[in-house]
Structure 1
C-alpha cells in the first residue's frame, strides 16, 4: 500500500560506531581520509583519437513496479576472437571501468578462444581490449569483481553483460548521447555543427565524477550525473527529498540491487523544475534511498554533493559531456504527440 508524504517533524539519524567515531573525532580529517580512500585509481583506458560510435540498448526491469523499460544503458562491444556481441553497462557514476568475474567465466566456457584474451590474474585482467564501433579501446589493466550472470542467456537476443564502462572512457573526450536515436558517440573534439545547436553550462570532471550546478525550487545544488541510475530522475537524501516531493502524494517503495546489496528506494512525484542555466526541465519524480553505507552518506554530505541525476530528465534531448572543455550541453528534440 503506498504511503504519503507528511510534513517533517525532525528525526535523529543513527550511525554505526565507526561513523560516530569519524564524525566526533575525525572532522575534516575524517572526510579527507575517506576522500583519499575512495578516490579513483589511475586511468587504465587508452581510447584512440577517432570517432567511436554505436547504437546502445536499454535493459528493462520487468520486476519494477511499475515495470521500468529503461533501467540500464548498455553499450555493445566486440572482444577479439569472440563471435558474440557482449555489452557493458555505461555508468558514469563508476570512475573506473570493471569486468564481472561470473560473466567472464561463462564467456570462456561457451567460447574457449576468449580464454587467451580474457585472462584473469588475481582480481584483474591485464591487456584487455574491446571494439567500440570502429575504435579499439585498450586497458593496461581492468579490475574484476565477483558479479554478473553465471551463464549465457538462453535467448540469443538478450544482451549478455560482461562489465561496466565507467567515466574513465570520458577523460579528455566528448560524449554525445542521443537518447531518441539511442546513439552513443565518443569524439576527440565536439563537432562545430553540434556545438552551435547546444545550450551549455559548466561541467566539472573532478576525480572522474561529472558534477554540474542546478537549481531546484530556488535552491542551488551540485549534482552528479550518473548514467547508471537510469530508472531515476534525481536521487538525493531525505531532507531535500521531503522538500521537493508533493505533500500528500503517494510514495512508491521499491527494492534496489546495488552490487548485490538490497536497498530501499522511495520515489515521489514532484512539480519541481530542474533548472540548468537557461534550460528548465520537468523533474517529475524524486527519490531517496535507504540503506546506503554510512561512509557514502558522510562523504556525500561533506563533499557538498546534493544528489545524483539519472538519464530520465534528458530523455527528450541529446546530451553532451565535454570533459575536455568542461561543459555540459543539451540539444532539445521535438516531443512526439
Structure 2
C-alpha cells in the first residue's frame, strides 16, 4: 500500500511539474524578440485612414486602421496597418519590391536579406522611427495603385511602438498621437483600468458579464467588437439572433468567424460601452489555442467598441483610459 501511495504521489508530482514546465515553455516560445524599433521626436500626431473590406457581406467600412508614413527617397505617402495584436513591426515583400522599382533612391534600405530588412527609417506624424531589424513577409500588393491618393500598404506597425510610450487614438477625428507621458488635460477626463503590455500584447482588466480573465486589445481585429470562445459567444448572443459567417485572411491563413448581436456591454471604470456584436473564430492552429489557454485570455477587443470615443494606451503608467 505504501508503494502504491508513493507511485501515485510521484505521478501527481510529474503532472504538476509538467504543467508548470509547459506553462513556462509556452511563455518563452511566444515571447517576442527584443524591441528593434526606436522613436525620436515626440510628441507626434497625425491622421489615420480606414481601409474597407468590400469582400464581406455586408461590407465592413472600418476593417483596417492605416497610419501614413514617409520613407526617405520616396515621394509617395505609404501606409502601415496599425495592429496591436502584432508584437513587432513587419514589412511586406511585394510592396517593398514595387517601391524599389518606382523609387530607386529608397531602394537600399528596402532590400531584404534572408527575409529581413535592416535599418529602415520612416517618419510618422512628425516623429522619426527606425527599425534596426524587421521580418519581411511574402505578402501584400505587387504594384502601386494608379490613384496616388489610394493607400499603399507596405507593412504592419506592431505593439513595439507602444513600449515605453503613450498612444492616444481619437476615433471620431481619426487622429493618433504618441507621447512620452499622458497629457494631464486628457488624464483628468478619462476613466482608467489596469493595462499590462505582457509579451508586447495589450492586456486590459475591463469587465464583461460573467467574464473571467483579461481582455486583449487588438486593433488589427477592427471588424470585430469582441472575439471570444464559442462557449462564451453562446452565452453572450441574443436568443435566436441571426449569425453572420465570414472567411478571414490572417497572414495568409484562412479562418472562419461567426458574429451575432449581443446586449452585453464593456465596462471600464464608470464608462460603459455597448459591444453591439460578439464573434468567435475557428481554424486557429493548435499553438494559438494553447497560447490562449496559457494566457487565461477571456477575449480580444477590436476598435469597434471605442468608435466615437478617444482612448489612451499608457504603457509606462500601466493603464488604459476612455476619455469621457
TM over 0.5: yes
Q: Give, in angstroms, the shift of residue 167 of structure 1.
A: 0.3
Aligned equivalent of 1:191: 183
Does the 8 Å contact 1:124/1:142 carry over to 2? yes
Does the 8 Å contact 1:119/1:125 carry over to 2? yes
Aligned equivalent of 2:45: 53
Unaligned runs of 5+ in 1: 1-22, 333-337
Aligned equivalent of 1:18: none
Q: Deviations over 1:270-306 (max 9, x none)?
A: 0011112221110110000110111111110121011
Distance change >3 Å, CA 236–CA 24, structure 1 → 2: farther
Q: Give, in angstroms, the shift of residue 89 of structure 1.
A: 0.2
Aligned equivalent of 2:5: none
Structure 2: distance between partners of 1:216 and 1:116: 49
Matching residue within 221, 236, 243 for 1:244 = 236
Structure 1: distance between partners of 2:162 and 2:33: 15
Aligned equivalent of 1:325: 317
Give the length in aligned residue pairs.
Answer: 310
Does the 8 Å contact 1:78/1:86 carry over to 2? yes
Q: Deviations over 1:148-182 (max 9, x none)?
A: 11111122221000000000001111100000000
Query: Are positions 1:151 and 2:143 aligned together?
Result: yes
Pick the structure with greater CA Rg: 2
Matching residue within 207, 214, 228 for 2:206 = 214
Query: Are positions 1:128 and 2:120 aligned together?
Result: yes
Q: Give, in angstroms, the shift of residue 189 of structure 1.
A: 1.1
Matching residue within 299, 307, 315 for 2:307 = 315
Does the 8 Å contact 1:213/1:220 carry over to 2? no
SS in 2 for 1:219: coil
Does the 8 Å contact 1:118/1:125 carry over to 2? yes
Distance change >3 Å, CA 187–CA 114, structure 1 → 2: same
Q: Give, in angstroms, the shift of residue 33 of structure 1.
A: 1.9
TM-score by length of 2: 0.92
SS in 1 for 2:233: helix
TM-score by length of 1: 0.89
Q: Deviations over 1:2-60 (max 9, x none)?
A: xxxxxxxxxxxxxxxxxxxxx99953433322221121010001111521211000000
Structure 1: distance between partners of 2:17 and 2:244: 38
Query: Are positions 1:99 and 2:63 aligned together?
Result: no
Structure 2: distance between partners of 1:44 and 1:273: 37
Does the 8 Å contact 1:31/1:299 carry over to 2? no
Q: Deviations over 1:96-150 (max 9, x none)?
A: 0000011101111121221123231112111111011211111111111111111
Structure 2: distance between partners of 1:205 and 1:291: 26
SS in 2 for 1:239: helix
Aligned equivalent of 1:267: 259
CA RMSD of aligned residues (A): 1.6
Q: Which moved more, 1:121-130 or 1:82-91?
A: 121-130
Matching residue within 64, 68, 91 for 2:60 = 68
SS in 2 for 1:31: helix
